[in-house]
Amino acid sequence: MENKKPKKYVLRFRAVNKDIFDAIKEGKKKIETRAATKRYRNIKEEDVVILTCGAQRFEKIVRSAHIYKTIRALLRSHKPKEINPRVSTESELIDIYYSFPDYREKIKKFGLIALELK
């Protein structure tokens, strides 16, 4: 059987989102989501994500990856706190998604990919 080498993907964090980057690094945040654009939609189980914020970087292995058509569909599988430790409600999470540049349109067009990290 062919042994497929895991692919590597870079996930960049803006300085303003360093708290989220740190929460992943510390293992407090296990689910990272992105709009499921061409750049991210092919990430699979066992692939490696390289998370960067400024000069800081670290790697995590993807335990699972699922694409959801809507935020509501995502929230049927994951609690808001799993996605962002600072929020506890669906509406707070939606507000955060929509605060990112062009995210309302990207989610509508591509959906969201949820990466469960080891």
Within-domain flag for 2? no
Within-domain flag for 48? yes
pLDDT in tens, 80-114: 999 988 888 999 999 999 998 899 999 999 999 99
What's this model's pTM, rounded to 2 decimal places? 0.90
Give the CATH number for residue 54: 2.30.130.30
Provide the number of structural domains found in the chain: 1
Task: Give residue 76's domain range.
Answer: 8-117
Within-domain flag for 94? yes
d(CA 29, CA 31): 6
Within-domain flag for 1? no
